[in-house]
Amino acid sequence: MARGKMIYEGKAKILYEGPDPDTLVQYFKDDATAFNAQKMEVIGGKGALNNRLSEFFMQGLMQIGIPTHFIKRLNMREQLIRRVDIIPLEVIVRNVAAGSISKRLGMEEGSQLPRPIVEFSYKDDALGDPLVPEEYISAFGWASQHELDEIVSIALRVNDFLSGVMLAVGIKLVDFKIEIGRVIEGDFQRLIVADEISPDSCRLWDIKTGEKLDKDVFRRDLGNLADAYTEVARRLGVLPSNTPKPGKPTLVN
Ligand code: TMP
Ligand code: ASP
C-alpha cells in the first residue's frame, strides 16, 4: 500500500497519510528515547517488535469490545490505523509502585498499590508531560467530565485485559500508559484507544525473577532492550518470523 505524505514525526513513530482520509499509516522507528529524549539510541529490531506487539494488544482489546485505532498490519514496520483527534493526555494506570510515583511519594519500587490508580499527564514535551489533576483537564477543555469518566473506565478495562494476558505468560503488569482519541461515527463521537501499546509504554516484570522486560532496561542501562522485548513477544507467541537480529545499539547523538 502506497503511503501518503508524512504528517507527524514523534520520538518512536511516524504518521503518514493513509489510502483514505479516515486512515493513517503508523511507522514504528527503531529509535529509543528516555527522559524527554535526553537519552537516545537506535535499537535494531525494536520497531518491528513494537509493531507486532501493539497489533497483538490492540486486537485483543477489540475482541473484548474495547475499540482501538488499529485496522491492520501492513508490513514489518507499518500498520494502518484510524485517524483520530488525539486527546492531549497520557493516561497512566499503576498496579505496583515504580518510576515517578515511587519518586514522588517516596514509595519503594515494587510495593503493591491498594487498587489500580489512574493518573493523567498533559502531553507537552516542552513542559516534560506534567502530571495534572482531573480538575485541570475539564477546566482547560482538554476533555469533558463525561469523556474523563469514560477514559477512566476504558483505562481500567485495558488494565484488566493486559494484566491477565501478561499474568498468563509469567509477567507482572506494573503500570502502563495509553492515549485516547476521538472519532466521529455517524452522528456520534466515540473514544477509542490510539497510539501504541508496547513494552515502550508499559512496565513489565518477570513474576519469578523480577527481571525488567520493558523500556526501563534502556532508561536504566540494565541490558539489551531488544532482547527484553523479544522475550515478551516470544512468551506471547507473536515473534515476527523475520525480525532483523538485534545488532549493536547505535548512538544517535
Ligand atoms: P512513570 O512512572 O515514569 O510516570 O511512567 C508510568 C508509565 O508510563 C510507565 O509504564 C512508562 C509509561 N510512560 C510512557 O509511555 N511515556 C512517557 O513519556 C513516560 C514518562 C512514561
Ligand atoms: N517517551 C519519553 C521520552 O522520550 C519518556 C520515557 O519513555 O521515558 O523521552
Q: Where are the domains of the chain?
A: 85-206
Q: Are strands 89-96 and 112-122 parallel, antiparallel or unpaired?
A: antiparallel
Q: What is the pLDDT of residues 170-194, one digit of tens each?
A: 999 999 999 999 999 999 999 999 9
Question: Which residue puts its alpha carbon closest to atom 7 of ligand 2?
Answer: 34
Q: Is residue 33 in contact with ligand 2, taking CB distance under 6 Å?
A: yes
Which spans in the chain are helix H? 46-63, 99-105, 134-139, 145-167, 216-219, 225-236
Pick out the chain residues at pLDDT < 70. 240-253
Assigned CATH topology for domain 85-206: D-amino Acid Aminotransferase; Chain A, domain 1 (3.30.470)
pLDDT at residue number 204: 99
pLDDT at residue number 192: 98
The amino acid sitting at 33 is T
Cell of 81: 490505523
Question: Which residue puts its alpha carbon closest to atom 8 of ligand 2?
Answer: 34
Cell of 246: 538485534
CA-wise closest residue to 209 among 170, 166, 162 = 170
Q: Is residue 27 in contact with ligand 1, taking CB distance under 6 Å?
A: no
Residues in the chain, total: 253
Beta carbons within 8 Å of 211's beta carbon, 6+ residues apart = 205
pLDDT at residue number 239: 85
Cell of 77: 514496520
Number of the ligand 1 atom closest to the C-alpha atom of 99? 2
pLDDT at residue number 3: 86
Q: What is the pTM of this model?
A: 0.94
Instruction: Say if CB 23 and CB 71 are below 8 A apart.
Output: yes
Pocket test residue of 11, 179, 214 for ligand 2, highest count of atoms within 8 A of CB: 11
pLDDT at residue number 74: 98
CA-wise closest residue to 53 among 73, 33, 67 = 73
Q: Are strands 112-122 and 131-132 parallel, antiparallel or unpaired?
A: antiparallel
Q: Is residue 99 in contact with ligand 1, taking CB distance under 6 Å?
A: yes
Which helix or strand (DSSP H or E) is residue 36 part of?
none
